[in-house]
Amino acid sequence: MAIDPREDDTIVALSTPPGLGGIAVVRLSGTESVSITNKLLPSNKRISAKSHGKALVTTISDPSTGDTIDEVVVTFFRAQHSYTTEDLVEISCHGGEYVQSQILYLSTNAGARIAEPGEFTKRAFLGGRIDLSQAEAVADLISAKVKSAHRFSILQMQGALKERTSSLRSKIVELSALIEAELDFSDDEITPTPKNVIAEKIDQVLIGIQQVSGNYGYGKIIRTGAIVPIIGKPNAGKSSLLNALLAEERAIVTETPGTTTDIIECPVDIEGFLVRLIDTAGIRSTSESVEKLGVDKTFEQIRSADLILWLIDKSSPIEEDDLNIYAELKNRNYIVLESKSDLSRHKSFNPERHDIKPDLAISSQTGDGLHELSSDIATKLRSLDAGEDALITNARQAAAFSKSEKALKRALSSTLDGAGNEFISVDIRDAMIYLGEITGEITTDDVLNEIFSRFCIGK
């Protein structure tokens, strides 16, 4: 059975080319687009379904952690006046891949679905927005995109993710068979499975799903590179380190200037990892407000990083700025670098007193410690791999796993609450459908087949 395109739900997609280009636009279309967007906005800066065509400057944050993702401009277009003829929201954000994929991911968590290739255009057409003569062109566009997506998906599906997802799904099918058999056959025919056994089995599948989805971050590192900001107070030697690393390692591209901020991002290849070094250099000012902006930016970098390189300047005292940064690093993946190892130690440079333990001493001038740093970076990134072969590499798969996980959690809690199988099965089915979206297996006959192979039916 084919996947239902669910034409009336709210879809989300990046409408500008993916990658590092200046500003990116994420679009949502459908009846829920306003309410979904608002879930990601602060309560005092939300869009209203009345404010057609008005742009609002606000911030997107992760509702579960409260972490700020990006400063954005949100514009709402009312149905009938929008491109798709549905309620449409455009979120203009900064062009980094991390920010874009976070916004996509959070939108799907809030209820949107990643659009099929060409789906916005399709809705525009179905809504009568596009001229009839364009119909064939749209059809070709969809089919062309599907073909290239198909090639990509075949490559991916051949891999471990499909196998792993398939095996998780068949565990859910088994579970479903246990639950459904009791509903499809009477007590005369079937011995019921105790609720604690059901709960245990749900839990096992949940653990499997969490293992795979927990490795989403690593999958992204493999696919789009690791975000590695170099942080430290002004003059700690961030730019020098960046340049030294670029000289030491193979720079893939030269500096790619950001657009609205002064962030510099340089991709380098470190032991096979695409490492996107980020320097917040250029934020230098005596004006207090700009200084504060710099610190805010640094903190933002920390939150979205896969690995942080923190520089503490051996030739200057440990200051409050350093301690503020240190506080922010807690529970994150970072390397502490004692910079300027070629200079003499400042008398008030006393990291031990603050419980700060430098991992490595480096000097961008002499090249001291740089080789070790590269190998430390690779080791740290490798440690992010949860040992799971199956890698989720895009937001669509991540969304499917996350929805499946939520459904199983609901099923688990209703099982523990003693709910009837007919209710548990509503969520188990959902979990099965979501994983089926990744593997393409969707059929209710699976469950009956499983029942017939397990139970001696027919009194």
Partner 1 sequence: MTDSYDIIVVGAGHAGIEAALSSARMGNSVAIITMDTNAIGRMSCNPAIGGLAKGHLVREIDALGGEMGKAADATGIQFKMLNRSKGRAVWSPRCQSDKYAYADYMDAVVNSEENITLIGDSVIGVSVLSKKVEGVYTTNRGTIAAKAVILTCGTFLNGLMHTGLKSTSGGRVGEEKSGGLTENLTELGFKTGRLKTGTPPRLKKETINFDLTEPQYGDEEPRAFSFSTKNFNPPNIPAYITHTNEKTHRIIESGLDKSPMFTGLIKGIGPRYCPSIEDKIIRFSDKPSHQLFLEIEGIGRGDIYVNGFSTSLPEDVQTEAIRTVPGLEEVELVRPGYAVEYDYFPPHQLYHTMETKLVKSLYFAGQINGTSGYEEAAAQGLVAGINAALKLLGKDKFHTDRAESYIGVLVDDLVSKGTQEPYRMFTSRAEYRILLRHDNADIRLSEKGYNFGLASKKVYDRAKYKKSLLEESVSALRATHLSVKKINERLGHIISRPADKPSSLLQLLRRPEVKLLDILPIFEITSSALAKKIQSDPESAEQIELEVKYEGYMKRQNEQVARFRKMEHKNIPPTFDYSAIRSLSSEGREKLSTMKPESLGHASRISGITPSDLSLVAIALRAYDTRV
What tokens were used for 134? Answer: 């364009």
Could you say whether residue 317 binds partner 1 (CB under 8 A)?
no
CB 308 within 8 A of CB 231: yes
**x-marked contacts with partner 1 along 94-123 as a string, rule CB under 8 A:** ----------------------xxxx--x-
Residue 53 φ/ψ region, left for φ over 0, alpha for ψ in the -120 to 50 degree band, beta for the rest: left
Residue 418 φ/ψ region, left for φ over 0, alpha for ψ in the -120 to 50 degree band, beta for the rest: left
Q: Which is nearer to partner 1, 27 or 340 (CB)?
A: 27
Q: Which is nearer to partner 1, 134 or 379 (CB)?
A: 134
Q: Which is nearer to partner 1, 280 or 397 (CB)?
A: 397
Element (H, E) at 437: helix 421-439
Q: Where are the beta strands (DSSP E) in 340-453?
A: 360-361
Cα separation, 442 vs 435, in Å, equals 9
What tokens were used for 355? Answer: 């419980």
Task: Tell me the C-alpha to C-alpha distance, in Å, between residue 321 and each of 137, 228, 312, 325.
Answer: 57, 20, 10, 6
Q: How far is the CB of 15 from partner 1 (least distance, A)?
A: 18
Q: How far is the CB of 8 from partner 1 (least distance, A)?
A: 5
Candidate ranges 97-105, 166-174, 253-261, 446-454; the one touching partner 1 (CB under 8 A): 446-454
Cα separation, 210 vs 204, in Å, equals 10
* 87 phi, psi to nearest 5 deg: -60, 130
Q: How far is the CB of 127 from partner 1 (least distance, A)?
A: 9
**x-marked contacts with partner 1 along 180-209 as a string, rule CB under 8 A:** x-xxxxxxx---------------------
Could you say whether residue 302 binds partner 1 (CB under 8 A)?
no
Could you say whether residue 125 binds partner 1 (CB under 8 A)?
yes
Question: Which member of 18, 94, 135, 163 binds partner 1 (CB under 8 A)?
Answer: 135
> Helix or strand or coil: residue 140?
helix
Sign of CA dihedral 416, 418, 419, 424: positive
Interaction residues for partner 1, span 140-159 (CB under 8 A): 140, 142-143, 146
Candidate ranges 195-203, 278-286, 380-388, 416-424; the one touching partner 1 (CB under 8 A): 416-424
As a residue count, the chain comes to 459
Q: Which is nearer to partner 1, 340 or 396 (CB)?
A: 396
Q: Which is nearer to partner 1, 132 or 327 (CB)?
A: 132
Q: How far is the CB of 75 from partner 1 (least distance, A)?
A: 27
Among 440, 403, 396, residue whose Cα is nearest residue 209:
403
**x-marked contacts with partner 1 along 359-398 as a string, rule CB under 8 A:** ----------------------------------------
The strand pair at 264-270 and 250-251 is best described as antiparallel
Among 305, 301, 310, residue whose Cα is nearest residue 359:
310
Q: How far is the CB of 217 from partner 1 (least distance, A)?
A: 28
Q: How far is the CB of 17 from partner 1 (least distance, A)?
A: 21
Question: Which member of 105, 421, 431, 441 binds partner 1 (CB under 8 A)?
Answer: 421
**x-marked contacts with partner 1 along 218-237 as a string, rule CB under 8 A:** --------------------
Cα separation, 221 vs 201, in Å, equals 32
> CA angle at residue 206 from 428 to 417, to 5 degrees?
60
Could you say whether residue 55 binds partner 1 (CB under 8 A)?
no
CB 452 within 8 A of CB 189: no
Question: How many residues in the shown chain lie near partner 1 by CB under 8 A?
Answer: 53
Q: Which is nearer to partner 1, 196 or 443 (CB)?
A: 443
Interaction residues for partner 1, span 425-444 (CB under 8 A): 425-426, 429, 443-444
Cα separation, 359 vs 336, in Å, equals 5
DSSP per residue, 257-271: E-SSS--EEEEEEET
Cα separation, 244 vs 238, in Å, equals 10
Residues 6+ apart with CB under 8 A from 371: 248
Could you say whether residue 53 binds partner 1 (CB under 8 A)?
no
Question: Which member of 43, 65, 132, 155 binds partner 1 (CB under 8 A)?
Answer: 132
Could you say whether residue 7 binds partner 1 (CB under 8 A)?
yes
Q: Write out the residues near partner 1 by the rule CB under 8 A.
A: 1-9, 116-119, 122, 125-126, 132, 135-136, 138-140, 142-143, 146, 180, 182-188, 417-418, 420-423, 425-426, 429, 443-445, 447-448, 451-452, 456-459
